[in-house]
Structure 1
């Protein structure tokens, strides 16, 4: 008898990404509080036709009203350029170091209550969350005090969502269908999970690496050994000492600056279309979640080096050494210049809680690339093994019959 599949449990999206309740279950807002300081640092985008909140529509690249269908172009200055900063600038470093650098930082853990300018309901922002929906009227609302705070680095640019909700659903369902051993209940993610569009914080680095290395070059050669029937050819390697200096250039290498998601899965979403980055404006965030950084640009540069820069330098060193084999004994790189941009990048995040364990699936919000985790169905695996055993038994029986 095959064991029963696990019983799924109710979804619970991990913080700090709140789940927006569906319209049928929207709660009644509490009495309007004094909006004073609580609302002065928030921002919404009002529809000029009906007064409802506008949202950024990835399909059209415009602001759209979900109530009346009106659209509004996002006004951009064609002469405005993406900002870029010197990572070695003491002023930049000090400013970044005093921002939200860690989920354990009191500044990041602090809750802030704001008043929805549409319905007067109170919204609680926690941690690095900077844009969400009002839980009472579903109005897209943003915290401007994070991105404009003097101690936090300003956002230089944003890569807007290009994959809308329908396209994200199509990508998710195709990915789930290809997971043969996923439990059947997991495939009903609409009931079990939460699919959210989120702008995550990235730092993008442009640098020139100056590398000195010491190593060995190995060149293969062949010799004939033995006599008579034992004579054969062997390949041997001749090694000699090498050293050198290389210069490698890197442009817009992105690295994630947030916690709470699987960095390896998110890394697999690359490449990002960095040429699609636009100067930052809050209109792109309307109707989507957004998070400020939890790791500063100096710390995040270590991730960029480990994920992309250092492997590229090692490949460059091996090409420079040449030969059939290479040994790198030591390698040291200095970066000059070393500049960065603070960008918001679009990711669709599906969180499904199955058997008490959360599983997350990530979609590149521009290219539609999907990577994630899923549970395995014991029933399906046991059934597949049993079917394979029966096939093997049948083949053996047929073989015995034909002998």
Structure 2
């Protein structure tokens, strides 16, 4: 290890003792029971529930008061963890919050935040098991019409990896002043009896307010964002205040997309949402057929955020020497991923569609 590498390695503490009091093996969170259990001796214990209601779920945090807003460079920062079970030293990416010792398998839950990062304040725990995730995958791939039959029959997921990924959620009160043009269509008949559509245009302006609740933004750059969107939504209301007990037995990572960049992305997406909402408002209020030249400016007030750890099952399967990855939502079981495509099946679908269009056109012309 170079001197520079040594400077980048930080000694960190463990937040949670994952040792089974019965047999000294590693205990882990069990999605089937919602308890901590030992896979070796069967020992189970409840996770302590706070007495105060506000301590049971993740609380909204004041965006303006957040001190650490920047991104976190996981490619540079490293940390070393000493295993409580076998005393082995392991170097991890600084983003990792939970993993198991590669030497003895002991579940390790490390500190949730570093000196220059925020700590998660909520977690949505796993609600489905790896077996249920595998069953959902089998149903998902069998429903892929363009996937070759051989792939459906042979696709067996590799061992599942349960991962808690970091997300930001944002609440904001939006107030938007807008101006736009709207048009109403009318049919005009000329002297020869031919008809055409003309549009009468009018100007309008107004004010639109909407409260945005728990707008979700992924805080990791490690995974395919398009695939992650396929397994949304998550049940964000079913969250719990962060406890290290919930992540034991699973991989988990802290954010690499910081609070400020997360909010910037959220504002862009919220702007697109507001554009669609204001357009619908104008169409409804003015009985308009079309809306154009929409211009608006938005003020955001009372911005709050939550930093949540959300559960995902990761796996892959091999078909014709190619690896296809997929994800399963750890709460809902929704599956998203890649699957092989059969060119023959696609060609058949296109041909059948063209035949159907030709038949409909034929009967239409005949009448």
Pick the TM interval, shorter chain: 0.7 to 0.9
Distance 2:153 2:255 in 1: 32
User: What does residue 59 of structure 1 align with?
Assistant: 32
Give the deviation of 1:361 after TM superposition. Answer: 0.8
Match of 1:263 among 203, 214, 225: 225
Offset of residue 39 of structure 1: 6.9
1:47 maps to what in 2?
Answer: 20
Alignment of 1:91-170 (within 5 A): 92=66, 94-97=67-70, 100=72, 102-104=73-75, 106-107=76-77, 110=78, 112-144=79-111, 147-170=112-135
Q: Could you tell me how far apart the structure 2 residues matched to 1:359 and 1:212 are?
A: 47
Counterparts of 1:214 and 1:160, CA distance in 2: 45
CA distance in 2, matches of 1:171, 1:211: 43
Is 1:282 paired with 2:244? yes
In the alignment, does 2:53 pair up with 1:88? no
TM-aligned CA deviation for residue 186 of structure 1: 7.9
Determine the structure 1 residue equivalent to 2:46.
Answer: 73
The CA RMSD measured in Å over matched residues stands at 2.7
Cα distance in structure 2, aligned partners of 1:343 and 1:267: 16
Match of 1:317 among 278, 302, 314: 278
Normalised by the length of structure 1, the TM-score is: 0.75
121 and 375 in structure 1: CA distance in 2 versus 1, 3 angstrom threshold = farther
2-side partners of 1:135 and 1:188: how far apart? Answer: 31
Give CA-to-partner distance per residue, 1:333-353, whole Å, 9 cap, x none.
121111111000011112346
Q: Are positions 1:198 and 2:198 aligned together?
A: no
**Shift in alpha-carbon separation, 1:41–1:59, aligned structure 2, 3 A:** closer
Distance 1:377 1:70 in 2: 48
Per mean C-alpha deviation after superposition, the further-off stretch among 231-240 and 197-206 is 231-240
Conservation of the 8 A alpha-carbon contact between 2:30 and 2:36? yes
Tell me the alpha carbon deviations over residues 61-97 of structure 1, each in whole angstroms, 9 at most, x when there is no partner: 11111011111111021411523222233xx1x4232
Residues 279 and 42 from structure 1, CA distance in 2 versus in 1: closer, same or farther, beyond 3 angstroms?
A: closer
User: Where do 5+ consecutive residues of structure 2 fail to align?
Assistant: 1-9, 356-367
**Residues 134 and 186 (structure 1), Cα distance of their counterparts in 2 relative to 1, 3 Å cut:** farther
Residue 334 (structure 1) aligns with = 299
Match for residue 139 of structure 2? 174
What's the CA shift string for 1:332-390, capped at 9, x where partnerless?
21211111110000111123466776532111111111111123357x669x86xx99x
**Deviations for 1:180-230, whole angstroms, at most 9, x for unmatched residues?**
554646864557x45211100000101111112221011122222233xxx
TM-score by length of structure 2 reads 0.82
Q: 1:347 aligns with which of 299, 312, 319?
A: 312
Give 3-state SS (helix, strand or coil) of 2:98's partner: strand
- Look up the match of 2:178: 213
Name stretches of at least 5 consecutive residues in structure 1 with no aligned partner: 1-36, 393-403
Other-structure match for 1:33: none
Q: Could you tell me whether the CA contact under 8 Å between 1:39 and 1:117 is conserved in 2?
A: no
Q: Distance in 1 between matches of 2:322 and 2:217?
A: 27
CA pair 38-88 structure 1, distance change in 2 beyond 3 A: closer
Could you tell which deviates more after superposition, 150-159 or 125-134?
125-134
Look up the match of 2:339.
374
Q: For residues 274 and 42 of structure 2, what CA distance do their matches in structure 1 show?
A: 51
| Counterpart Cα distance in 1 of 2:18 and 2:117 | 24
In 2, are the aligned partners of 1:87 and 1:298 still within 8 Å (CA)? no
